[in-house]
Structure 1
């Protein structure tokens, strides 16, 4: 019985095709493995700068919060560890919780005003002509680019008691009782000036971001909505808002962080006064730490401020993610 086997191919055999990796054999995987580390090497300088500029000061602040440190100990280079005593004093006192509640309310009011005004101006930019849009954007950029200390000084001049422009204008308009009014003499009036300053400096960021977001909306969607009989409000809710919602979430998140740590504006206007009634957590930490020379106490307040801010942002991100899941 004859068994037939497969006939070998006739003619010369191409070794380059039959051999894995070509005529030189299989390619080594060393080059491929080295390529996987390239992204991490590119990120290394940024990570090193972050650790050096943020991580190390944060670690020093945490270590300082567990020390009893005043001016005499600082001069003598004496380190006195007191455990969680600083945190215990802060958390058991009424001042910290009062300032925390004030900081949260202050942040909420400012963020709402910033987002509403910034969104309206951003939508206005999308509807203006080219020249008017350019003029308004130049004004927004100039307001945004002004240094915080310079802007705070300008607002101090505007709301000065004797020679302030605001009091002079109000007096000329008929409110003669405002001719010599002190805007920093009460808690609410001081917060009004600070809020006006923060909102004025924050609106450009929101407005420009929202205007940039509107440029990504295809015009065909508005045409389709108009063919379906949708009016201005219906087009806004069904076309504009779905595109703007991610930008609104991200911008609100950034504004919460920025307003919550608004130290310069509050401290420059009135130093947290009158009678420390306008202190928010960053100002409270500075006054307790540097002003009263309780550096360990101030460091503990700063650490707690960071934890509260992380908690607020985590809660906000949880709400955003839940809303996105519901939309899906």
Structure 2
């Protein structure tokens, strides 16, 4: 009897395996596939290495050097003679025991709080205005915000110095024309509160574009159907804002407040360029105080210690804010 054979080779029955049954073993996947999987898992970390190296070189190493300086008695004599005099925690003890340090710290916290509140309120209002405007007016206002945001801090500070100049400033001229003749030659940088007023206007003006543009971008992600449903329920403009807009914008607002606290607290060029912390050092914030004590008075070790204490205070403020914000979110869930 002839036996039919398959030209493609023996089947499972010919190999001693019943038809329909699985083979007794499976072949291992190619070695290249497992290697490719490992490379895929490691690739994100490899891509982060250049950024981490740049951050360590540009930020980490200066921070380490600054920390080393804070434990030294480094004045002009030590610089000229190339001496290294370690004094332990004396700089920190002297700074923390100084009334001036705590006075400047309280002033910096209050200054930051006032600026952040004004920035968030005005930035939110302008962002909501952008969402309501037509295309042309929105484009015009957005261009103005971008130009204000793109101006370098020193350039913007110089413009504000011209605006608030005592003799030829535009602000005094306008106030004089409006009937406040006593403001014709008013010195805005001659007092503590007037100087802080100019600095606050400058910082708020520079910070509003970031909040407004990002908040407008966040409003574009809110579904229109939610507003329509709220309108059908009889919700007005205020109720629609509190029940629809605000819940969607809340994560953005929390993150923006966090960023603005950091930005305002460490603001240096605006405060220093307006009046160098004057008059009589009454408008110094912690960054300016550290610079004047370190570079101005040539106590570089003390300046380094104050700068590190400034970073620690900022970390305490931001961590406290995050703790409060996260706790509120947990309570609402």
The CA distance in 2 between the partners of 1:18 and 1:274, in whole Å, is 90
The CA distance in 1 between the partners of 2:178 and 2:227, in whole Å, is 45
Which residue number corresponds to residue 289 of structure 1?
294
Structure 2 unaligned segments of length 5 or more: list them. 1-11
Alignment counterpart, residue 311 of structure 2, candidates 299, 306, 322: 306
Shift in alpha-carbon separation, 1:19–1:127, aligned structure 2, 3 A: farther
1:46 shift after superposition: 0.7
Which residue number corresponds to residue 233 of structure 1?
238
Shift in alpha-carbon separation, 1:35–1:69, aligned structure 2, 3 A: same
1:20 shift after superposition: 5.8
The question of whether the paired residues in 2 share the 8 Å contact of 1:110 and 1:198 is answered with yes
Alignment of 1:70-219 (within 5 A): 70-219=75-224
Alignment of 1:16-35 (within 5 A): 18=23, 22=27, 25-28=28-31, 29-35=34-40
The CA distance in 2 between the partners of 1:19 and 1:70, in whole Å, is 81
Q: TM-score of the superposition, structure 2-length normalised?
A: 0.92
The CA distance in 2 between the partners of 1:31 and 1:142, in whole Å, is 47
Which residue number corresponds to residue 9 of structure 2?
none
Give secondary structure in 1 for the equivalent of 2:71: coil
The CA distance in 1 between the partners of 2:24 and 2:318, in whole Å, is 58
| Alignment coverage as a number of residue pairs | 317
The CA distance in 1 between the partners of 2:106 and 2:283, in whole Å, is 12
**Root mean square deviation of aligned Cα:** 1.6
1:19 shift after superposition: 6.8
Alignment counterpart, residue 328 of structure 2, candidates 311, 317, 323: 323
Which residue number corresponds to residue 259 of structure 1?
264
1:233 shift after superposition: 1.2
1:76 shift after superposition: 2.1
The CA distance in 2 between the partners of 1:130 and 1:26, in whole Å, is 58
